[in-house]
Amino acid sequence: MIDLHLHSNASDGSDDPADVVRRAAAAGVTTLALTDHDTTAGWDAAAAAVPRGVRLVRGAEFSTDAPDGRGGRVPAHLLGYLFDPAHPAVLADQERLRGERLRRIRVMTGRLRAAGYDVDPEGIAARTGAPVGRPHVGQALLDLGVVSSVGEAFRTFLAKDGPYYEPKADTPIDEAVATIRAAGGVPVWAHPWARTRGDVIEESVIRDLAARGLVGIEVDHPDHTPDDRERLQALAGELGLVVTGSSDYHGTRKDIPIAAETTAPDQLDALLAGATGAEVIIGAA
C-alpha cells in the first residue's frame, strides 16, 4: 500500500513525524510520503523511524496560487517529492511562506480576540516552530470549547467568506514548479478539484502547467468526487502525467485515516524515476 501525502506536527498534523511513519507502517503502508506544508523540518525524525520493509519518500506541500483559467486566481497546493531541502530557492520560498503564514494568522486571531475569543495560535507556532495555519486556530478554538471539532471551526470561524478570514500571499504555482524541479524534485498538483474548499481551476490550467514541468496530479483524494476523478484520470492519460492517490492524513485534525486513498505501484515508479534531489529512505531497523 502506497500513501504519498501525510502531515505531521512539523506543520498542521497532530502526530510527531516518527509517529506518522510508525502509524503508516502499522496500517500496512509499504511506501509513505511525509508532505508537511512549506517545511522539511520533519524529514530527519521521520527518516530515523522507518521500520524494515517500509520506504519513506520525503517531500513537502508548497502553498501556491494558480490562475483559475477564468481570469482570476485561486489557492493551489503543490506536492514536491525528493527535492534537495537545502536548495536556496526552496529555503527562500519556505522562509517567506512561514513569515506570511504568521502575519496572516496574527490578523485572523486579532479579529477573533476582538470578538472575545481568547485564541493564541502564536503560542502553538512558537512551541512547535511549525508553519502556522488555520488548523492551528481550529485546534485553539476546540481547546477553548468554542467548537466541537476542527472541521466545525472550518465551517464557521475559519470559513473563507467569514468575517475572520485573511488570505495569505502564496507563491505563483509556475514558480513553485520551477523551484522543485531546480532542486531535483518532482512536482505533483495536490487535490486540484477539492471543490468544497472554494473555487477550483479549469482543466486548461493543468494542461498549461504540464507543458511547464508538472509531473503528476493527485487524482484519488478524499475531497474528489467520482466524476472528477474520472475526468482527471483521463486528462493525466492524455498529458502523460503520473497519477497519485493519497489520504492527506492530518492525525486528529481531520477525520481521514492513513491509506484512505492509495497510489498504484507503477505510478510510484514513474514518479520516482524523475527525482534526483534526495534519496528514498529504505527502512533497515
From the DSSP assignment, how many helices (H) and strands (E) are in the chain? 10, 9
Question: Restricting to residues 173-212, which ones interact with Zn ion according to CB under 5 A?
Answer: none
Residue 206 Cβ, how far from Fe ion at the closest point, in Å?
A: 16
* Cβ 40 vs Cβ 11: under 8 Å: no
Binding of Zn ion by 61 (CB under 5 A): yes
Binding of Zn ion by 12 (CB under 5 A): no
Nearer to ligand AMP, 135 or 187 (CB): 135
Residue 239 Cβ, how far from ligand AMP at the closest point, in Å?
A: 26
Residue 43 Cβ, how far from Zn ion at the closest point, in Å?
A: 16
CA distance 152 to 160: 13
Q: Which of 2, 10, 12, 158 binds Fe ion (CB under 5 A)?
A: 12
Question: Restricting to residues 235-264, which ones interact with Zn ion according to CB under 5 A?
Answer: 248
Residue 20 Cβ, how far from ligand AMP at the closest point, in Å?
A: 15
Residue 192 Cβ, how far from ligand AMP at the closest point, in Å?
A: 14
Q: Which of 3, 31, 57, 77 binds Fe ion (CB under 5 A)?
A: 77
Site map for Fe ion, 156-195, x if CB under 5 A? ----------------------------------x-----
Q: Which of 96, 17, 29 is nearest to 59 (CA)?
A: 17
- What is the contact surface with ligand AMP in residues (CB under 6 A)? 12, 37, 133-135, 150-151, 154, 197, 250, 253-254
The secondary structure of 211-243 as a DSSP string is TTT--EEEEE-TT--HHHHHHHHHHHHHHT-EE
Q: Which of 253, 264, 193 is nearest to 223 (CA)?
A: 193
Q: Exposure pattern of 37-62 as b/e (b: 16+ CB <10 Å)?
A: bbbbbbbebbbebbeeebbbbbbbbb
Nearer to ligand AMP, 79 or 281 (CB): 79
* Cβ 209 vs Cβ 174: under 8 Å: yes
Give whole-number Cα distances, 103 to 58, 99, 166, in Å: 27, 6, 10
Binding site for Fe ion (CB under 5 A): 12, 77, 190
